[in-house]
Structure 1
Amino acid sequence: MKNYNDTTYAILGILTTNCRSGYSIKQFIDQSLNHFWKISYGQIYPTLKLIVQEELAEVHTSSSTGKPDKHEYYLTEKGIETLKNWLEKPIEQLPVERNEILLKLFFGRFQSREKTISLLENYKEKLENRYQTYVSIEQAIINYPDNDTDPDSMYWLFTLDYGKRTTRASIEWCEFTLEKFLNKEDS
């Protein structure tokens, strides 16, 4: 079976959620996947074209007077099987994080004490905002009327929990690092 890039598999997965157009796929990414998987708008349409060429999905086009044609994408059996095969494979590598604050902190002796403190406090504030966003998303999923019958919601909550836990750990790291830095600088 042919291997595709992760963006292809992500879009195959999104097509299982009743998102059918490029626009609705982008909205879905912005509201959910974007917290842990980035896909640019410029990747969506070339990937959809590839998916159709590879017969992983079919495109249905509808026309309305005075409006551009609407293209809706539907997974084929081959597309579903391709997604299932990819999902069942073990992960190939642990994610590698590119983290600007760690890079700046690594070379931190070349910046002022105040800038280091500001950098850590600002990062902590952004993390706290992200955490609150995750809590809001979690509440929206839990309070969604069809939550109990939606087969995806449990999995969405798993990925959200990962985000909450890693963000909470990063907040704790900021607090610990700030305390260590301030104590070191005061002595």
Structure 2
Amino acid sequence: MKKYNHTTYAILGILTTECKSGYAIKQLIDQSLNHFWKISYGQIYPTLKLIVEEELATVHISSQEGKPDRKEYHLTQKGNIALKEWLEKPVEQIPVERNEILLKLFFGRHRSKENTLLHLRDYKRKLEERFETYSGIEQIISTNKHDREDATYWLFTLDYGKRITKAAIEWCGATMEQFLKGGN
């Protein structure tokens, strides 16, 4: 079977949910996947076009009075097979994190101690906000768990995000403490 990029497989996976339109796909990405997998709005429609051209999905157009026609995408058997084959393959590589705070800290001796501490505090605050967002999402998924077969798997990915975020918050605290003790 032909190999596609990860965005294609992500959208094939999204089409297994109730999200069938480009707009609904974008909403799911913004609310869920975007926390661990970035897909820009500009990638969605070209990928949907490719998926239809490759016969991995079909598109159904329905008219809406006073609105543009609505396009809904549905996986074909070929699309389901492609998704399942990709899901069965082992992960090719461990992802490399691109983290601006770590990059700036790596070269931190070239800036003021105050500025370094300011950046670490700000980063920690943003991580705490992210953790709260994850906790809110977890509550929503858990509350509506009976509505979704995918909820268990969504909670697994959310748990990963919460644990990584919690570890990063702890790292910020320990790094600031060490930095203040003179570890610069």
TM-score range, shorter chain: over 0.9
Q: Mind listing any 5+ residue stretches in structure 2 that lack a counterpart?
A: none
CA distance in structure 2 between the partners assigned to 1:64 and 1:155 by the alignment: 34
Q: State the AA in 1 paired with 2:121.
A: E
Partner SS state of residue 45, structure 1: helix
1:40 equivalent in structure 2 = 40
RMSD: 1.1
What is the aligned partner in structure 1 of residue 12 from structure 2? 12
Instruction: Note the C-alpha offset of 1:67.
Output: 1.8
Give the deviation of 1:184 after TM superposition.
Answer: 1.0
CA-CA distance at 1:172 after TM superposition: 0.7
CA distance in 1, matches of 2:64, 2:5: 34
The match for 1:165 is: 163
Q: Give the structure 1 partner of residue 105 of structure 2.
A: 105
Query: What does 1:19-38 align with in structure 2 at a 5 Å threshold?
Result: 19-38=19-38
* Stretches (4+) displaced over 6 A: none
Q: Which residue type is aligned with residue 151 of structure 1?
A: E
Question: 3-state DSSP class of the match of 2:71?
Answer: strand
CA distance in 2, matches of 1:53, 1:7: 16
**TM-score after normalising by structure 1:** 0.96
Offset of residue 148 of structure 1: 3.0
TM-score when normalising by structure 2 = 0.97
Residue 149 of structure 1, CA deviation: 5.4
Quick one: distance in 1 between partners of 2:103 and 2:64? 52
Choose the corresponding residue for 1:148, options 141, 146, 149.
146
Q: Which residue of 2 aligns with 1:133?
A: 133
Indicate the residue corresponding to 2:56 in structure 1: 56
Distance 1:185 1:76 in 2: 58
